[in-house]
Amino acid sequence: MKIGLISDTHGLLRPEALAALQGCAHIVHAGDIGRPEILDALRELAPLTVVRGNNDEGLDWAAELPQQATLQLGGVGLYLVHEAAHVPAQLPDNVRVVITGHSHKPLIEERAGLLWINPGSAGPRRFRLPIAVALLHIDNGEPRAELIELQP
């Protein structure tokens, strides 16, 4: 199973990001969306799970979006929240992957038996950080992630 991970679009959904997410069975957006049309475009590719980011606060269309989400895909529990600082100390037992955004810094790291992924920012470039998305592959209940740097 291939799951697309995107975050921090800040109102800009690049064609390169859409191309990188083609063929995903599910897409996860880790917040700071910017415009509701971005969610509509992602839903055209695959089922979508999304959380509200700090820059989505106060926007009428984003008010109904959750601040965190837990889901099960390919037999693996995922926990999704915009800021890593908001990940609770105690996660449900079935969670094996934590997905965050906010920092704009792509990250794949094992911590205490959990796979932590930040796909980076797919929106406007910030400082010298790369523009990126990520893919989460789940094969036989085993998660593996890869970062995809976009070349706009």
The CATH number for 108's domain is 3.60.21.10
Is the model's pTM score more than 0.85?
yes
pLDDT in tens, the chain (152 residues): 999 999 999 999 999 999 999 999 999 999 999 999 999 999 999 999 999 999 999 999 999 999 999 999 999 999 999 999 999 999 999 999 999 999 999 999 999 999 999 999 999 998 889 999 999 999 999 999 999 999 87
Residue bearing tokens 């810094």: 105
Domains in the chain: how many in total?
1
| CA neighbours closer than 13 Å in the CB half-sphere of residue 133 | 28
State how far the alpha carbon of 35 is from the alpha carbons of 3, 5, 21, 39, in Å. 22, 17, 18, 8
For residue 131, give its domain range: 2-149
DSSP for 4-50, please give it.
EEE---TT---HHHHHHHTT-SEEEE-S----HHHHHHHHHHS-EEE
